[in-house]
Structure 1
Amino acid sequence: MLMRFGGSLLCRGAMRHPQIPAKQRLSQLLFLQPKTRTCSTVQNVQSAKSRSVGLWLAGCSGMVAGAVLLGGITRLTESGLSMVNWSLIKEMKPPSNQQEWEEEFSRYQQSPEFQALHSHFTLEDFKRIFYMEWAHRMWGRAIGLAYFIPLAYFVARGKIAKTDYKRHGAFCCLLLAQGGYGWYMVKSGLKKPERDTDMPRVSQYRLAGHLFLAFLLYSGFLWTSMSHLKRDLLFESHKNLKRLRILAHISKAMVFITAMSGAFVAGLDAGLIYNSFPKMGDFWVPPEILDFDPKWKNFFENSTTVQFDHRILGMSTLTIISSTWIMSRFTPLPKRAKLAASCLMAMALFQVHLGITTLKNYVPISTASMHQCGSLVALSLALWLSHELKGIKRVARKIK
């Protein structure tokens, strides 16, 4: 198999570089194009990978990360319910004169949030939170333009492989769903709470769904961009590789699940209770952890249980990532894969530190925003590690 693999690559390389000895040219081709088997498949692989497409998708993933950070700050500053209407085109232009501002402020004054929390707000106070929410919405529209316009260009130029059409179709659906779901989430906070003791806020279920779509879109953009930009390196397989890949996938899933758990913490303001660590007050397990009926509601609506779950998930994620890093130390890997594992380990430790600091200091905006952003960085590193290990397996399989 290896002889046929090398010979087929050499037929193209020898014609282009007759002055280079055959053995040397074969070695270069093996390391630069480990995925190819025949002269015809070289062209297929090269057409499937495009640096310009990779950079475009990397930029889109960065814009989605910016939207997540901006959305977190919008929530922490209680700005998300300042715009009580939604329009795809009309709201792109903010109020431009005193009359328009007063009309917008009048609409906000009728909302439950103003009446319960912000009745003391002046017009200047309202402008501050309005611009925060407006910027978040405009950034979402900018992501749509940054994706759809280049997509049409790349498809027209044949830069998008036909095998990727379904993937980009999924990206289109996710982008459109994210915009609509954002307004669906905001609408839940514009209704008067069922109990007078409850504060007006968006549904924690819808907040988690909004974050889920953002993380899913970000992961898809980043993974696809790495497939275009990264070149797989030829490396010998190892008996630990399969177990290491499984651990990397579990790490990736745990980071994702823990981040979704954090959305419930944010939606219920659960970070403002039990501001101590490692115990929750005087308890390892608070007594009210299963107070709600039916019991399953405690995991999504009981602030104490939601915070307890987030702590357990956070420490479990750290344990899994630590196991992944330890195994990577005992497995021969390319430098890029080892670097990805080490970066993920360092970020996991820093993310736990940020979470504890945020909790103990009663959720200050700066550290809370860093903690939310840290979850996205940890997910990025977990995706990077998984992508590196995936490449090793593919190359090892082809040279057997």
Structure 2
Amino acid sequence: MLLPALRHVVRCGYRDAGKRFQQIQRTPFRQWVLQRGQNTVVSEAGSAHATAATPNSATNRIVGQWLVGCSGLVLGAVVLGGVTRLTESGLSMVDWHLVKEMKPPRTQAEWEAEFSKYQQFPEFKIMNHDMTLTEFKFIFYMEWGHRMWGRLVGLAYILPAMYFWKKGYFTRKMKVQALGLCGFVFFQGLLGWYMVKSGLENKPESYDVPRVSQYRLASHLGSALVLYCASLWMGLALMRPANKLPNTRGIVLLRRFAKGTGALVFLTALSGAFVAGLDAGLVYNSFPKMGDYWIPDDLLAFSPAVRNVFENPTTVQFDHRLLGIGSLAAITSLYLFSRRMHLPRRAKIAIGCLTAMAYTQVVLGISTLLLYVPTPLAATHQTGSVALLTFAIWVLSELRKVAK
């Protein structure tokens, strides 16, 4: 279209050419040029958007699935740690190296050297002085597996977090949360070694058998449970939208009751670490009474009295019983209270699962006690405590407020 206009300039002069150009502007050519320019702008904006993704419902779901998967790995670490404790394998590895210990002994000479190091510490001298190399390999592999699982947990948090950060999947708030979770994983590893060191110290006057400090054991378990709950809570919040519950007085009370019940479940699980650390499950293997008494006479045998709560096996077991029964009563009340309200289907299912798991956990705990703490049943009971905590987090997630 331009070429005929130029020819017209040559033939007819400038004045007539102006008229010709005005005609061209009224043709579809001008519209095509304008539309072409708009498409170019849109294309450039789209490419810029593609290079710097912004968080949306799709990316939030991906991040949520990652966090829920990480919480599953933490659950595995807690279960494996409990089995390691029950099989008395936790003190078999007397060194801690982040990378070097990832390769277990392979040759006979390497195994004998590792066994020789273990023989220098109190657990072998007092409890396992007749242990064979084959028996040592079993407890070594138990502890080695637990530590390697811990490293897997660390990689599962750190590597995807770096990828999501680079891809722009995180909001500013999520970046802070991701840094907190990754830092907490590293802290958890250091705390685990700090716990093991307490069992390698020569303090025969403190206990009849070498064991890790119940305070450090509770700290190690407690931090793992905090990491688990935080990951699961954030993952569920990103994957599922909050239910639009009416902000009535009953719903507010139910939500507060659920928070208190969840805190009680967490405290009960944490008290189990003191039971494990002091082998308190091996005293008073009867229920509902402790021996011939409802309240044993050695409940306050230590002085000052506050030491009994954390150091007296009788008191520790008594407290764990009370917390377990209290958790069962609270969950039952929560279930009955929720029946009076119109709740979404998912919320009802979550509360029902929590209630069923609470009764299952109590049966497991009583059976473990009466049967003198058999390892498979005790491990199932410890796993049940985390399952109960999982359902409590699910209930809280279903009852949470809608973000404004």
Tell me the TM-score normalised to structure 1 length.
0.86
What corresponds to 1:318 in structure 2? 328
What corresponds to 2:362 in structure 1? 352
User: Residues 1-400 of structure 1: matches in 2 within 5 Å?
Assistant: 46=56, 50-195=60-205, 198-390=208-400, 393-394=401-402
Aligned residues: 352
Q: Which runs of 5+ in 1 are unaligned?
A: 1-42
Contact 1:265 1:307 in 2 (8 A): yes
Please give the alpha-carbon distance, in whole angstroms, between the structure 1 residues aligned to 2:114 and 2:362.
41
Please give the alpha-carbon distance, in whole angstroms, between the structure 2 residues aligned to 1:90 and 1:49.
37
Deviation at 1:238, TM superposition (A): 3.4
One-letter amino acid of the counterpart of residue 402, structure 2: R
Please give the alpha-carbon distance, in whole angstroms, between the structure 2 residues aligned to 1:329 and 1:158.
43
Contact 1:48 1:161 in 2 (8 A): no
One-letter amino acid of the counterpart of residue 138, structure 2: R
Please give the alpha-carbon distance, in whole angstroms, between the structure 1 residues aligned to 2:316 and 2:206.
22
Q: Which runs of 5+ in 2 are unaligned?
A: 1-52
Deviation at 1:49, TM superposition (A): 5.6
Change (3 A) 1:197 1:369: closer
Detail structure 1 runs of 4+ shifted over 2 Å in the superposition: 43-49, 231-239
Please give the alpha-carbon distance, in whole angstroms, between the structure 2 residues aligned to 1:324 and 1:211.
27
Please give the alpha-carbon distance, in whole angstroms, between the structure 2 residues aligned to 1:44 and 1:105.
54
Contact 1:258 1:314 in 2 (8 A): yes
Deviation at 1:166, TM superposition (A): 1.8
Q: What is the Cα-based RMSD across aligned positions, in Å?
A: 1.6
One-letter amino acid of the counterpart of residue 126, structure 2: A
Larger radius of gyration: 2
Contact 1:47 1:159 in 2 (8 A): no
SS at match of 1:394: coil
Deviation at 1:46, TM superposition (A): 2.9
Please give the alpha-carbon distance, in whole angstroms, between the structure 2 residues aligned to 1:149 and 1:378.
29
Deviation at 1:131, TM superposition (A): 0.3
- Deviation digits for residues 78-126 of structure 1, max 9, x if unmatched? 0000000000011000011011000000000111001111111111110
Please give the alpha-carbon distance, in whole angstroms, between the structure 1 residues aligned to 2:341 and 2:249.
8
Deviation at 1:237, TM superposition (A): 3.9
